[in-house]
Amino acid sequence: MTDDRSGRDIYGEAYDEANEPIFSGIPTFLKLPEVDRGDLDEEDVDVGILGAPLDTATTIRPGTRYGPRAVRAASTVPSPPYRHFNIETGVDPFDHFSVADTGDAAVSPGDTRQSQLNIEDAVAEISEQATPIVIGGDHSISYPDIKGWAEANGYEDVGLIHFDCHADTGEDGLTGFEYDHGAWVARVFDDDLVTGENYTLIGPRGFWPGPDIYEEMREEGMKWYTAMEVGNMDLDDIVTDAVQRATEGTDAVWVSFDVDVMEPAFAPGTGEPEPGGLMPREAIYMIREVVKALDPEDFGFDVVEVSPAYDTSDTNSYNGGVTSGFANRLIIEVLGSMALADQGLESGDPIKPKEPLGPTGETEAPADD
């Protein structure tokens, strides 16, 4: 994506001088530059952030229309914009990529389908010039996300790695609307963009969809790891399998992350919380490893279903909340792993203590009584 540039080369003087207080200024994502979608190529942008504030395709608790705003607000805490060196992975994506906020797609609360088509157009415009990362919004946005991205790049066969409490494969969603947030996977399959063998669902649990839909999924060759299985298995085995399936014979891979895959004690700000979900360390680790194994030139990501009205530590999204902060963290982790993948690296250069971790030296034997 880029040559060997530093953050100062990419962002200029702002790299050192952008130290505005978190409560000041326009809250773009990470307070990064805002660039019009049509100017990404001219501005040499590698990754374009897009908000998709749609929630009229949700079926239980609304409120995800405020998700992009809340995630942006949470993204300003606590780090300055251009310096995100991860002490665990040893990589700073802003030393490698030029990232810009492209604003929100146009939505009309009274016209769900037209709003989705607008999102599709916005994602396509970004994808012609840069890698798209989309902040939802309810999960119905993933269909226009994937369609716009695939058509802009000429992808015919796409791999899909889907983190979610629910399969979202209902032919008519949850309430008979074919474009609701429980039907987007079915719509992607209708367009022949994804086949069952290239699809993996991570984290489902609970009571929807029912056995008939899972039987159909099995017949299609789709694969899933329930939340309980994630907790009992080696995460690397799940990652390896999902990546192999997503990349086998495909042109590109989309990763979609619904925050209701998480244990709601850690991510309460969502419309359909379900007990027994993933732990944050599990989710962050798998996202890191999945994205690191993919080609950042043929990749897209969305994080959806952040609903700040139900979140904790959120006061009108001035500083975001627990769930929006987690979504922000996921996006930065995605960028970090993209940077590693783009450089062909398994890991960065984390700073470690001089002494090895764990007990060092010999311990004295207990004295005799």
**CB-CB contact of 185 with 167 (8 Å):** yes
Contacts of 69 (CB under 8 A, 6+ apart): 27, 51, 53, 308, 317
Ligand-binding site membership of 181 (annotated) = no
Amino acid letter, residue 368: D
Q: Which helix or strand (DSSP H or E) is residue 279 part of?
A: none
**CB-CB contact of 164 with 303 (8 Å):** no
Q: In what order do the strands lie in the sheet with 199-202?
A: 99-104, 47-52, 131-136, 299-304, 252-258, 158-163, 199-202, 223-225
Domain ranges of the chain: 18-157+252-343
Question: Residue 251 pLDDT > 90, yes or no?
Answer: yes
Question: Residue 242 pLDDT > 60, yes or no?
Answer: yes
Question: Residue 322 pLDDT > 60, yes or no?
Answer: yes
Residue of higher predicted confidence among 48 and 182 = 48
- The mean-pLDDT minimum among 144-148, 185-189, 283-287 falls in 185-189
- Structure confidence at residue 3 (pLDDT): 63
Max intra-chain CA distance, the chain: 82
- Structure confidence at residue 48 (pLDDT): 98
Question: Residue 345 pLDDT > 80, yes or no?
Answer: yes
- The SS3 assignment for 345 reads coil
Mean pLDDT of 309-320: 72
C-alpha closest to that of 258 among 64, 99, 116: 64
Question: Residue 316 pLDDT > 60, yes or no?
Answer: no
Ligand-binding site membership of 84 (annotated) = no
Ligand-binding site membership of 9 (annotated) = no
Residue of higher predicted confidence among 239 and 182 = 239
Question: Residue 215 pLDDT > 70, yes or no?
Answer: yes
Q: How far apart are CA 90 and CA 38, in angstroms?
A: 33
Beta bridge partners of 134: 50, 302
C-alpha closest to that of 123 among 302, 341, 331, 338: 302
**Beta 131-136 vs 223-225: how paired, if at all?**
unpaired
Q: How far apart are CA 106 and CA 359, in angstroms?
A: 57
- Structure confidence at residue 177 (pLDDT): 76
Domain boundaries 18-157+252-343, corresponding CATH code: 3.40.800.10
- The mean-pLDDT minimum among 120-129, 248-257, 302-311 falls in 302-311
Confidence (pTM): 0.93
Q: How far apart are CA 99 and CA 11, in angstroms?
A: 9
- Could you list the beta-strand ranges (E) of the chain: 47-52, 99-104, 131-136, 158-163, 199-202, 223-225, 252-258, 299-304
DSSP 288-319: HHHHHTS-GGGEEEEEE---GGG-SS-STTSS
Mean pLDDT estimate for the chain: 90
Q: How far apart are CA 244 and CA 242, in angstroms?
A: 6
- The SS3 assignment for 129 reads coil
Question: Residue 76 pLDDT > 80, yes or no?
Answer: no
Ligand-binding site membership of 162 (annotated) = no
Summarised one tens digit per residue, pLDDT across range 38-58 is 999 999 999 999 999 999 888
The pLDDT-based confidence of 314 (bands split at 50, 70, 90) is low
The pLDDT-based confidence of 173 (bands split at 50, 70, 90) is low
